[in-house]
Amino acid sequence: MKIKLENPIVEMDGDEMTRIIWAMIKDKLLHPFIDLKLEYFDLGVKHRDDTDDAVTMEAAEAIKRHGVGVKCATITPNAARVKEYGLKKQWKSPNGTIRSILDGTVFRKPIILRNIPPAVRTWQEPIHIGRHAYGDIYKCVEEIIDCPATAELVITPESGEPRRMMIQDFKGGGVVMGMHNTEKSIRSFASSCINYALSEKIDIWFAAKDTISKKYHGFFRDVFAEEVEKRKADIAAAGISYRYMLIDDAVAQVMKSRGGMLWACTNYDGDVMSDMVASGFGSLGLMTSVLVSPDGKFEFEAAHGTVMRHYYEHLKGNPTSTNSVASIFAWTGAIAKRGEMDGAADAVNFARRLEDTVINTIESGVMTKDLMQIAEPKVEKYALTEEFIDAVAANLRRQHM
């Protein structure tokens, strides 16, 4: 008898190879075992283009209504992608749009496997990344300068005279960018990181570049410190600590650490460092990712892109060996959270059982090519994309009988 979910999960479909994997996961690992109630949105790049990206905003609003969403990897088009897909323009990152609407923090955590040793020999425990998911470069205004020009930052108060600051007196061509953030969002980020660290009972590191960006990054530093001060008693009671450091120092320290901390990062730093940590622990396909809003809305996703190269091989009819673990864990995270919120223990147990089955399948020696190359002990043969999902499905069926 199938497990039933009473309330919807917002499903956001994606692009290229991950879209193909997404369908396999639903057909082979989910639908045979659990009756999902889904509110579906197609966030494939062509449909976003057809709707002038309205579908992305509609999906974010649906997550606000229902509380839980799960998202496939999507294309953020550059000029080449606009030409390739015949798009109207270079649409903004759908992840950035959703994060801005939910005002959330992204938490990423590597999936640890016994037979996939970390590339950094000192790492023994997961390094959790807390990424501020609003503003900065992901909500920037930018312009190419194609003639001699003066670029200024102008602040116009509701009352009073505008304040003008010179950015650059361009004698020829160049480029300029304006970024922003809000105190409310930064406080939400800090508070979310503290709550996460308390729940996981792990230390908090926060890193920025306040020696250079004395006001912008300095504001982050000060707001984060104020939020930590408010929760000082809770932090002490949990037996954890808080450290602020320069991002340069944090990078150096994390490479020598044993792990086991939450590394809180500004938006761009979190984007880059989460990929570094994922690769260091084995693969971008071995990283969970969840966006958490201040009012308790959750969006689960894979931490990697659309695997374009494999998609082109797939279109040629060639076999691929694409790691589906992060996409599977996006689904299990969403199902478990929906189950927790609805009091459906059987749904939570199913999600955890599926996660354990994926891990046991890999640890038994069945894995995709990216993991085979770094597995210890060595594996002689790798599984193709669908073969791996079929192996997980077979193991799951044996447990379900």
207-260 confidence digits (pLDDT tens)? 999 999 999 999 999 999 999 999 999 999 999 999 999 999 999 999 999 999
264 and 317 in a single domain? The answer is no
226 and 296 in a single domain? The answer is no
Nearest to 87 by CA among 53, 136, 111, 113: 53
Residue 34 belongs to a domain: yes
Residue 108 belongs to a domain: no
Last residue of a domain, one of 281, 304, 336: 281
24 and 67 in a single domain? The answer is yes
356 contacts: CB under 8 Å, gap ≥ 6: none
- Tell me how many domains the chain contains: 3
Residue 43 belongs to a domain: yes
348 and 247 in a single domain? The answer is no
Residue 82 belongs to a domain: yes
23 and 9 in a single domain? The answer is yes
- In this structure, the chain runs to a length of 401
CB 325 within 8 Å of CB 286: yes
Q: Residues 33-45, buried b or exposed e (16+ Cβ, 10 A)?
A: bbebeebebbbbb
Question: Could you tell me if residue 86 is left (phi over 0), alpha (psi between -120 and 50 degrees) or otherwise beta?
Answer: left
State whether residue 376 is helix, strand or coil.
coil
pLDDT of residue 401: 58
pLDDT of residue 250: 97
Last residue of a domain, one of 251, 281, 311: 281
169 and 192 in a single domain? The answer is no
393 contacts: CB under 8 Å, gap ≥ 6: 28, 29, 32
7 and 28 in a single domain? The answer is yes
Residue 111 belongs to a domain: no
Nearest to 98 by CA among 263, 289, 286, 272: 289
123 and 231 in a single domain? The answer is yes
For the question of whether the overall pTM of this predicted structure is more than 0.95, the answer is no
123 and 237 in a single domain? The answer is yes
Last residue of a domain, one of 281, 306, 334: 281
Which residues does the chain have with pLDDT short of 70?
Answer: 400-401
122 and 146 in a single domain? The answer is no
pLDDT of residue 294: 82
**Residue 59 and residue 40: Cα distance in Å, rounded?**
8
pLDDT of residue 367: 97
State whether residue 91 is helix, strand or coil.
coil
Residues spanned by the domain of 146: 141-178
In the block, tokens 């989910």 appear at: 30
367 and 323 in a single domain? The answer is yes
CATH of the domain at 189: 3.40.718.10
pLDDT of residue 172: 95
Residue 109 belongs to a domain: no
5 and 77 in a single domain? The answer is yes
pLDDT of residue 400: 67
Residue 6 belongs to a domain: yes
Residue 112 belongs to a domain: no
Q: Is 286 exposed, middle or buried (0-12, 13-18, 19+ CB in 10 A)?
A: buried
**Which amino acid is it at 147?**
C
